[in-house]
Structure 1
Amino acid sequence: MSAENATPGPGANVKVERIKRGWQQDQLAARAGLSKSMLGKIERGERPLTQSTAAALAYALGISLDALLGQAPPPKGGEDSLRDLRTVMRRFDMAGGDEAARAPHLEADLAELFRLRGDADLAAVTRRLPVLLRRVQDRAHATGLPADWARVADVYSAVYWLAARHRWMTMAELAVVRQHQAAERASGLARAVAARDEAGTFLNGGDFVGGLAVVDRGVVEAESAMKGRDRHVALGLLHLRGLTLAGRTGDKEAAARHEREARKAASHLDADVDVQGIHFGPENTLVHLVATWADLKEHGEALEVGERYLRDGPSLPATRIGPLHMNLARARLALRDREGAVDELAAAWKAAPQMARVHPTSQELSRVLVSLHRRSNPKITALARRAGIPL
């Protein structure tokens, strides 16, 4: 039997919360529908805590999923920006001055924000969001134009993305409420993206079935109200979210349905489309498939799809490539390829270092790999130092 692992990470939080309640492992395992053996491996750092298992454990413990996974701290120096951002979000219905309608350089500043989102530069996005959100809100109130309200919805989508990456779920959920309010004054595509992000809050909260219901509702609206390219993009984005949610529930039939519909939508596009930092098309469909195959424990299939995609030369930004390598690391670790898992995790850090630092999958893989290797592997030592894990 391995010694208990003291390396911090989401899986280690399970033991902390269990002991708080005075429960034995068999008590928590029974409540969560797990075997005692699996729970022990998670607590000792011999097996990574997956999102679906974390959701079951959080429910059994009577806490939120983000409480179990642990909220990430703000980027360095970002506390003031987050305070200002909350203020702007509260003032959603307060119009700015007449000068807001001019908003010089707004398009260039928005393009830069979405570029930074694609680069997974969490710190820079945090700094820019408060001022830019205030500017787009003021302009939309001044003009009342659907195009300007679409910009507001797009920026709130970036707020949701930032909050979800750090598991700040109160902010994420308010961002989605505001995003819906803006999208209702904008376009069908804005409403579809808002539905996708709303389903994301269910995903982040561990309510995968509720998230699927949100996706289905969004799909019905997009199918009935939209046409042309925007319809294909809207449906594709929604079905990719559905694919992820179905994978988390372990529902292979639902996953296959969402995969089929996402591929159908992608077939109408020559290449992936960038919707203000959110991508849909043939490439992002494959990236989502890797994650879903890993969730469904089809690890060989996940590796085959991911390796083929990387060989073909990916064009997606860091915000997609970083998680792709994390999911390939999950698959390799499950297939007992520890060295390969270390290399994939290192690639995730290289592609998107700020995301790797806060992402629960990266944190959990680091915890388990450090626990299994300890000081015997110089790659793990370097990885642990970057992740802030003591050896």
Structure 2
Amino acid sequence: MSAPGHSEFTAGLAPGENLAVLRKAHGLTQAQLARRAAVSLSLLSKIEVGDRALTPAVAAALGKPMGLTVAEVLGEAAVHQEAEESLTDLRSALRDYDVPTERTVTDSDLRDGVMRASALRDAFDVARLTQLLPNLLRDATAHAFAVHSAEAWNSLAEAYSAVYWLAARHRWMDMAELAVTRQRWAVHQRADPLGAAIADRDRAGAYLNGGDYEGGLSLVERAIVAAQSSPSLSGRERAFAVGVLNLRGMTLAGRLEDKSEGRREAERHIRSAWNAAEELAGVEWHRHSMIFGVRNTTTHVLATRLDLGSPREALAMAADVDAALADLTPTRVAATRINLARAGLDVGDRDGALTNLRIAWETAPQMARTNPMGREVFRVVSSLHRRSNPELLRTAKLAGIPL
């Protein structure tokens, strides 16, 4: 993949900057929006000028009076013109979900394609993934209709999951919601409880990005009950299904407006996730392009503590961060480093925040252009730091963000 600064996907405005543009477009003053969102005027002002980071929970509150989702407030990642053709082809493949082509596809070829898509996700190589997905969807569709096996339909569902992942990372919520609908349709062609759990986890992610945290939690609860009661799931596979659903549940709970309720719900999902992780005996399991185990649970708990307003608790969990992140994918490592940067900013450790951002962008460079919180934290850190700070200049160069 090309170096930062030459990616086919760009981030546009950082979330706080995007919020200011949206507020003005809706004809609202800062005072009017703050009052309608029940957010302090001081906080809103600091977010817009770059003295405070816009968090997902605050974005949800500020978006509601304007009729906007969290994803819309955070802002879509823009696409260079040369990538538009791949996205147009991908949308066409999504529309043709029940129109199989006359392709001859082997099980081996399809497994290779799905594994390639998973590897590109892990590497955050969004440009190559976007190029791969249209033909992968068409191949998987043709194969599923031809052989009608559980494995074939699961491969198609996993391809749709990759589309959801791509769309959610760029806040393209129309595509994300269509992808999870297709994903659920595929897994239910031949009953597969583990695939259904993954599909429900992705669908709950659409609720998360839409800011409907209560609705997402209700969906997760139903999915956990279904996984626990399924006679086809047992042992470590059931632990995996329940575990990944609880990871989504704790994230949703951490974003609830009522932080007392959020902490209560989050702790319940955290306990359940730890119990499921212990059943895997210290191994990080990989299934359907998902990872679950003790280490991945640690990263999600850390993020949830931060969303609940406890940055010091989040930082305490990262006392031995390198060990905690060992063997995880670059995207998970980078996401955790961005969360640590946000926590550092919250406690006044600007240097620590900047160091974690640099490590994140060294680990998964394309996240610099698509991860809204990474760009938002960098926006705030750069406004607070002297521009001659060498670490700031180095991080800006890595991210391809002008100061």
Q: TM-score, normalised by structure 1?
A: 0.94
The aligned counterpart of 2:270 is: 259
The aligned counterpart of 1:364 is: 376
1:1-391 equivalences in 2 (<5 Å)? 8-74=13-79, 77-97=82-102, 99-102=103-106, 105-186=109-190, 187-225=192-230, 226-249=233-256, 250=259, 251-270=262-281, 271-311=283-323, 314-391=326-403
**After the TM superposition, which of the residue ranges 193-202 and 72-81 deviates more from structure 2?**
72-81
Change (3 A) 1:148 1:335: same
Task: Give me the whole-angstrom Cα distance separating, in 1, the residues matched to 2:104 and 2:202.
Answer: 28
For the residue of structure 2 that corresponds to 1:274, the secondary structure is strand
Task: Give me the whole-angstrom Cα distance separating, in 2, the residues matched to 1:332 and 1:25.
Answer: 27
Task: Give me the whole-angstrom Cα distance separating, in 2, the residues matched to 1:374 and 1:172.
Answer: 39
For the residue of structure 2 that corresponds to 1:49, the secondary structure is coil
The aligned counterpart of 2:9 is: none
Change (3 A) 1:84 1:316: same
Change (3 A) 1:387 1:61: farther
AA aligned opposite 1:384: A
Change (3 A) 1:372 1:353: same
Q: TM-score, normalised by structure 2?
A: 0.91
Aligned CA RMSD, in angstroms, stands at 1.7
How many positions carry a matched residue from both structures? 384
How much does 1:14 deviate?
A: 1.9
Contact 1:75/1:122 (<8 A) preserved: no
Contact 1:293/1:299 (<8 A) preserved: yes
How much does 1:76 deviate?
A: 7.3
AA aligned opposite 2:64: Y
Change (3 A) 1:378 1:309: closer
AA aligned opposite 2:300: H
Q: Percent identity?
A: 44
Change (3 A) 1:126 1:75: farther
How much does 1:82 deviate?
A: 1.2
For the residue of structure 1 that corresponds to 2:34, the secondary structure is helix
Contact 2:13/2:75 (<8 A) preserved: no
**After the TM superposition, which of the residue ranges 214-223 and 62-71 deviates more from structure 2?**
62-71
Contact 1:95/1:137 (<8 A) preserved: yes
1:12-53 Cα deviation digits (max 9, x unpaired): 122222223332222111111111111111011000000010
Task: Give me the whole-angstrom Cα distance separating, in 2, the residues matched to 1:113 and 1:356.
Answer: 21
